[in-house]
Structure 1
Amino acid sequence: MSQLILDNYNHEVANKLVQAANQKTLSHAYLFEAIQHNQALKTALFLGAYMFCEEKEKPCQKCSQCQRVLNHNHPDIFVIQNDKQTIGVDEIRELKSELSKTPIEGKQRLFIIDRAQKLTQSAENALLNILEEPMSEVVMVMIAPNSKQLLPTILSRLQMVQFDQRLAQSNWADRLSLVQASDKELLLALQNVGVEFDQLAEFNQLESFFHEVKELIKQIISKDKGAYIHFQTVVKPMIATSSMQDVFLKSLMIIATQKLEQQEVHALSLVSSLIEVSHRRRFNVNFDSLVDYLFSQTIFAPYQGRA
């Protein structure tokens, strides 16, 4: 069998990780914020090869330890990686079970959560419990294109490693050149409130999503009880991840604020409810509970907005 060679990893990041490892200052948990996903994953594997390499010049990429890392079958490396739309709480429970095991061939273990932006909110909450009790023999690497796609409480327990931020602006420019004129204002507003391009890239049909959000706003402001059904049957299937839900809530706030500036009836009540939703989300309130609260304060309760 021919030997695998690790290429296309980020040399600058890899060198910093090696330096930290040599000084015994590796963090217990990292976030690799990278638009170029494959490069970030290969950099995480580089770290694994360095941790387990048998030779003096690490990683040699030739010894049995390095080759098992590159072949994704090293017993002390655990990777969460799937082709599903989300990473759920079951995967995090499996990770927690693996954490209870001692290293098999080395002194440390490496855990990688690939495409961490796919974590559901329940999965993030389960992961938070793990991160709150770091283990000295464990290094965890999470990979996502944008740190804002994860809960702030998760981010506070990770050391950020940024890869390729210069690509972000060009991606935004490309997206703006493709959307309808009516959506450009919303796109720019989302960028201004911290939404990154790769959050939008999760949507298979972004323009359809924008259309449905605008329709939902119209229904809420007109107190159409069909808005709740519209959300459950049409909008909710479009926003399966925590990151996509974040885009949804920010889109609602942007459009509702525009309606308020236009002095539309009942817009003030909607904006006030969304402010409270944003506040509760920072405290990890379940997304479904946030939506129920929003509708209870708008559709299913008397408005206190402008007449």
Structure 2
Amino acid sequence: MTLAIETLQPQIVAQFKRLIAQSQLSQSYIFNGPQGAGKHDMAVWIALRLFCLNVTDGSPCGVCEECQRILAHNHPDVIELDSQAKSIKVDEIRELKQEMSKSGMETDQRVFIIDDADKMTAGASNSLLKFYEEPIAGMIVILTTTAKQRLLDTIISRAQLLNFLPPGATNIATDLTSQAVPALTAAVISQLTTSLATAEALSGDEGFKSRFERVQQLTKRLAANDLEAFVQIQTQIMPVAKELSDQQQILSMLALAYEAALRQHFGLATDLASWPGVENLSQLSSDRLTQALSALMTATQQLDQNVSFQADMEQLVLRLVQGG
């Protein structure tokens, strides 16, 4: 039985097949991406794979007793929180933590899935944070979200972040490469937009090409811990960042580079591996990379709050180079 997620996100499924086979699963993940990208289904697939009685070629069968109980939301060691309210309140997380404190009913393995984790109130987030500070052996916690920037930085820094592309992203990249757009450029554009028309417009936009080229140069300097990156903001970045949309795009592209580096650090495939500097960045510690992503998120939030882009970028680059 082929599960839908195996067709929708084959690359991510393949990565988790390998991680589980090699006993390299982390205890906490954040699945970030648009609606319809398969984040919840991927979390359920992991649970199925861990409990399935008839695994074949690394895939759960989907039909054995254990699989059927999980799919029916009736497995005592697979707990899902899918709040239909506008927010996830602290009481819901406290109840979940009570479950976390218990031993597995049937095995030592337990899987907790929190959907729409960005809906957690501040109190709920702080309550959940205690799990990340004192993780429990045999437990996996997966948060799904469409807005990772709404999660606490301290939660993001303690989990492995995976960005799920929208279902059409691969088709966008394929369409662009068929039009002689370089593969790296096509992969980046496919992660910046879900619209084929917008993607094609970007691929022919000289302003975008210039910004992408300069962000690649900046990434290379950052990967080398070169303080010339600070100078490059004034000389290279500011001239191509006249509009707010340009500035947001620059930060988004820089975040993609660090996300690719983090994936590569953990041995996960990325279409952005050829990005100059990503290979060197991937040699940094996972803590350093997650701190960098947290700094990028802060920079994006500050830009939304009308902080000067140049000041924002200068502060960001210092944090990225110094690892703070």
TM-score (normalizing by structure 1) = 0.56
**Pairs within 5 Å for 1:137-152:** 137-152=138-153
Q: Are the aligned partners of 1:37 and 1:145 in contact in 2 as well (CA < 8 Å)?
A: no
**Pairs within 5 Å for 1:3-18:** 6-9=3-6, 10-18=9-17
Tell me the distance in 1 between the aligned counterparts of 2:86 and 2:248.
23
What's the C-alpha RMSD, in Å, of the aligned pairs? 3.6
Tell me the distance in 2 between the aligned counterparts of 1:247 and 1:86.
23
Asked whether 1:170 is paired with 2:169, we answer no
**Corresponding residue SS for 1:84:** coil
Residue 121 of structure 1: CA displacement?
A: 2.0
**Pairs within 5 Å for 1:240-279:** 250-254=303-307
Tell me the residue number matched to 1:219.
Answer: none
Tell me the distance in 2 between the aligned counterparts of 1:32 and 1:15.
16
Tell me the residue number matched to 1:215.
Answer: none
Tell me the residue number matched to 1:68.
Answer: 69
Structure 2 unaligned runs (5+)?
170-189, 199-242, 254-298, 316-324
Q: Which moved more, 1:60-69 or 1:145-154?
A: 145-154
Closer, same or farther: CA 61–122 of 1 in aligned 2, 3 Å: same
Q: Are the aligned partners of 1:31 and 1:144 in contact in 2 as well (CA < 8 Å)?
A: yes
Tell me the distance in 2 between the aligned counterparts of 1:127 and 1:28.
14
Asked whether 1:104 is paired with 2:157, we answer no
Tell me the distance in 1 between the aligned counterparts of 2:131 and 2:44.
22
Q: What percent of counterpart residues are identical? A: 32
Tell me the distance in 1 between the aligned counterparts of 2:112 and 2:70.
12
Q: Are the aligned partners of 2:66 and 2:75 in contact in 1 as well (CA < 8 Å)?
A: yes
**Corresponding residue SS for 1:82:** coil
Tell me the distance in 2 between the aligned counterparts of 1:82 and 1:92.
11
**Corresponding residue SS for 1:62:** coil
**Pairs within 5 Å for 1:34-183:** 34-37=33-36, 39-57=38-56, 58-164=59-165, 166=169, 168-171=191-194
Residue 248 of structure 1: CA displacement?
A: 7.9
**Corresponding residue SS for 1:8:** helix
TM-score (normalizing by structure 2) = 0.53
Closer, same or farther: CA 122–27 of 1 in aligned 2, 3 Å: same
Aligned structure 1 segments of 4 or more residues deviating by more than 3 angstroms? 165-168, 171-174, 185-195, 246-252
Tell me the distance in 2 between the aligned counterparts of 1:253 and 1:26.
40
Residue type of the partner of 1:170? T
Tell me the residue number matched to 2:180.
Answer: none
Q: Are the aligned partners of 2:33 and 2:163 in contact in 1 as well (CA < 8 Å)?
A: yes
Count how many residue pairs are aligned between Structure 1 and Structure 2: 203
Q: Deviations over 1:52-108 (max 9, x none)?
A: 111242411110110111122211111111122211211211111010111112230
Tell me the distance in 2 between the aligned counterparts of 1:127 and 1:91.
10
Q: Are the aligned partners of 2:49 and 2:55 in contact in 1 as well (CA < 8 Å)?
A: no
Larger Rg: 1
Tell me the distance in 2 between the aligned counterparts of 1:53 and 1:169.
36
Tell me the distance in 2 between the aligned counterparts of 1:98 and 1:191.
42
